[in-house]
């Protein structure tokens, strides 16, 4: 549950100046836990500062993130030209 004032649509700008993997990118493969599910992404556009849309729905005592709307928007923001479709 998020604060009630978050309810509505938001434009979010991501800013990342650098990223470090002390043991190297070579350890990040499809077999690494989190990579296949998208929890860990190798995003080569560091410094691109993409803009994404987030949505929060009003709820009793606050607001809830609308992940079915937000996650595709975030992925598309980081991967220009991505075409995401529902499997449902």
Q: What's the pLDDT at 84? A: 65
Distances (CA, A) of 21 to 8, 24, 25, 28, 42: 36, 5, 6, 9, 11
Residue 73 parent element (H or E): helix 67-78
Q: What's the pLDDT at 75? A: 82
Among residues 87, 51, 50, the alpha carbon closest in space to that of 68 is found at 87
Q: What are phi and psi of 81, to 5 degrees?
A: 85, 5
Q: What's the pLDDT at 1? A: 92
Antiparallel, parallel or unpaired: β 51-59 and 62-65: antiparallel
Q: Could you read off the pLDDT tens digit of each residue along the chain, which spans 88 residues?
A: 999 999 999 999 887 666 666 666 666 677 766 666 655 555 556 667 888 899 999 999 999 999 999 988 888 887 766 666 665 5
Q: Which residues pair with 2 in a beta bridge?
A: 63
């Amino acid at each position: 549950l998020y604060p009630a004032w978050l309810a509505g649509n938001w434009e979010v700008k991501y800013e990342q100046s650098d990223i470090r993997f002390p043991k190297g990118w070579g350890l990040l493969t499809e077999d690494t836990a989190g990579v296949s599910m998208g929890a860990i992404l190798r995003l080569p556009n560091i410094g691109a500062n993409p803009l994404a849309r987030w949505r929060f729905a009003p709820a009793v005592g606050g607001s809830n993130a609308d992940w079915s709307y937000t996650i595709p928007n975030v992925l598309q923001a980081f991967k220009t030209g991505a075409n995401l479709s529902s499997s449902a």
